[in-house]
Amino acid sequence: MDLLFLGTGAGMPSRERNVSAIALRLHEERSSFWLFDCGEGTQHQVLRSPLRLSKLEYIFITHLHGDHLYGLPGLLSSRSNQGGETPVTIFGPKGLKDYLKISLEVSETYLRYDWKVVELGETGGTVIDDGQFEVTAKPLDHRIACFGYRVHEYDRPGTLLIDKLKAAGVPPGPVYGRLKAGETVTLEDGRTLNGAEFVGPPEKGRVVAILGDTRPCPEAVELASGADVLVHEATFDAELAELAKQFHHSTSRQAAEIARKAGAKQLVLTHISSRYQESGAEVLLEQARELLPGTTVAEDGAVVPVRRRP
């Protein structure tokens, strides 16, 4: 599992940063990827990446400002033209369904795959729970309805201790699968084996929190609680805190404060204003690292692994 940043700018594209879009790549977990926001030009960024649109499974829109949304009709159309056939579900605030329906109807765009929009209620809630992942949405503090998303991977069973089974004289076969499932099995020679004794400890599930535009708020802390990776906007530096408040955004230092309160293990800053061109984003990084030394600032094309932790 890793995060691929397709767009890390705020408001409008710049020479260095496209507008918001992040792919959560689930290589080993389910051979697909999920997309968080889809600003204008996202499909161009996908073409420069290893992503294949046919592998796109879910899209999560944080809010309906153009820099998070305008690339969506084109991306869906390109997915169809490139042979994508599996269903796509799109989550987001109220109004998203009308936006897409009108855009596709007026442009007479036909999608060869099934698609649906799930509009979130004001309080958000659980949007996916399939036994492998749970995705929760909560409202944030922005000028319009805006959500953050928490992706929680459930713990996975431990690995089967094959060397221990071989040492016990248990030949490979269907019995291995039953023991891995934790069953108690009686062998042909009369021995009874407890599956729990031949399986390693469970692999702890990972948590990724991806927040939309927001001022600091309790919901941001809740979504990021204990996260392995928190992706938080940092539109302004700390000297512009009043401007950030006025426009319902956060500073880099405020993002670090949220991460620290939440106990997040890694903070990645994104949604960087075009005022911080070239090396200008260093000030954002320095301010956040005063509170959270391991903070990074995302760049377009950056890959951030989401590692399993003990």
SS3 for 118?
Answer: strand
Indicate the pLDDT class of residue 182, thresholds 50, 70 and 90. Answer: confident
Structure confidence at residue 231 (pLDDT): 98
Whether the pLDDT of residue 278 is over 80: the answer is no
Whether the pLDDT of residue 203 is over 90: the answer is no
Choose the weakest-confidence range: 40-44, 182-186, 230-234, 306-310: 306-310
Whether the pLDDT of residue 158 is over 90: the answer is no
Q: Are 57 and 25 in contact (CB under 8 A)?
A: no
Structure confidence at residue 200 (pLDDT): 87
Q: Is 98 a catalytic residue?
A: no
- As a whole number, the mean pLDDT across the chain is 95
Structure confidence at residue 157 (pLDDT): 81
Indicate the pLDDT class of residue 292, thresholds 50, 70 and 90. Answer: very high
Q: CB-based contacts of 4: which residues, under 8 Å, 6+ apart?
A: 22, 23, 25, 33, 49, 51, 301, 302, 303
Domains within the chain, CATH numbers bracketed: 2-156+202-305 (3.60.15.10), 162-198 (no CATH)
Q: Are 5 and 19 in contact (CB under 8 A)?
A: no
Question: What's the whole-number mean pLDDT along residues 200-228?
Answer: 96
Q: CB-based contacts of 263: which residues, under 8 Å, 6+ apart?
A: 225, 226
Catalytic residue among 67, 228, 237, 300: 67
Choose the weakest-confidence range: 47-51, 150-154, 279-283, 284-288: 279-283
Structure confidence at residue 227 (pLDDT): 98
Whether the pLDDT of residue 310 is over 80: the answer is no
Structure confidence at residue 19 (pLDDT): 98
Question: What's the whole-number mean pLDDT along residues 289-304?
Answer: 97
Whether the pLDDT of residue 118 is over 90: the answer is yes
CA distance 11 to 4: 20
User: If you compute the radius of gyration of the chain from its CA atoms, what whole number of angstroms results?
Assistant: 22
Structure confidence at residue 251 (pLDDT): 97
Q: Are 115 and 89 in contact (CB under 8 A)?
A: yes
Whether the pLDDT of residue 283 is over 80: the answer is yes
68 assigned to a ligand binding site: yes
CA distance 179 to 8: 47
Q: CB-based contacts of 310: which residues, under 8 Å, 6+ apart?
A: 204
Question: Which residues are registered as beta bridge partners of 138?
Answer: 148
232 assigned to a ligand binding site: no
152 assigned to a ligand binding site: no
CA distance 271 to 262: 20
Q: Are 81 and 109 in contact (CB under 8 A)?
A: no
How many Cβ atoms from other residues are within 10 Å of residue 171's Cβ?
Answer: 10
Closest CA relative to residue 60, chosen from 118, 122, 121, 12: 118
CA distance 137 to 140: 9
How many Cβ atoms from other residues are within 10 Å of residue 254's Cβ?
Answer: 25
44 assigned to a ligand binding site: no
Structure confidence at residue 21 (pLDDT): 98
Q: Are 173 and 159 in contact (CB under 8 A)?
A: no
